[in-house]
């Protein structure tokens, strides 16, 4: 049986999780509009839909940890962490309603995570 080395795939996993997070964030308003047309009463969104934010954050966290172990450029690791911290803040802020932020603010760190994981995959390996 062939074993898969997760650290060698961390950039692919991180970029994929960030891309799915971005799709999730872009699709949410459209799904709510469709749901509002179908259901006139009840809960605004399913609970599992909100949990996906946290799942993507956890996957991204571990992808960044693994990527930082193998990257040859320290600044890429720092950029990944900066994007992740900003993304985590925005997601947690949305859940806790701490300060008013535009819904679109989440796109910037998600795109940053995708970019830096793909950049690292192409240019920063030993």
pLDDT in tens, 22-32: 777 777 666 66
For the question of whether the overall pTM of this predicted structure is more than 0.75, the answer is no
Non-local CB neighbours of 65 within 8 Å, separated by 6+ positions: none
pLDDT in tens, 48-78: 777 888 888 988 898 899 888 888 889 999 9
Task: Answer yes or no: is pLDDT of 47 > 80.
Answer: no
Non-local CB neighbours of 48 within 8 Å, separated by 6+ positions: none
């Amino acid at each position: 049986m062939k074993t898969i080395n997760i650290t060698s795939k961390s950039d692919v996993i991180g970029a994929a999780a960030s891309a799915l997070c971005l799709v999730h964030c872009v699709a949410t308003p459209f799904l709510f509009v469709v749901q509002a047309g179908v259901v006139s009463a009840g809960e605004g969104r399913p609970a599992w839909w909100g949990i996906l934010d946290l799942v993507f954050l956890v996957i991204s966290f571990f992808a960044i940890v693994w990527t930082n172990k193998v990257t040859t450029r320290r600044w890429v690791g720092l950029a990944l962490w900066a994007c992740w911290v900003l993304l985590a803040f925005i997601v947690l802020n949305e859940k806790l309603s701490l300060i008013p932020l535009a819904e679109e603010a989440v796109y910037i760190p998600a795109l940053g995570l995708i970019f830096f994981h793909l950049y690292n995959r192409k240019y920063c390996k030993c």
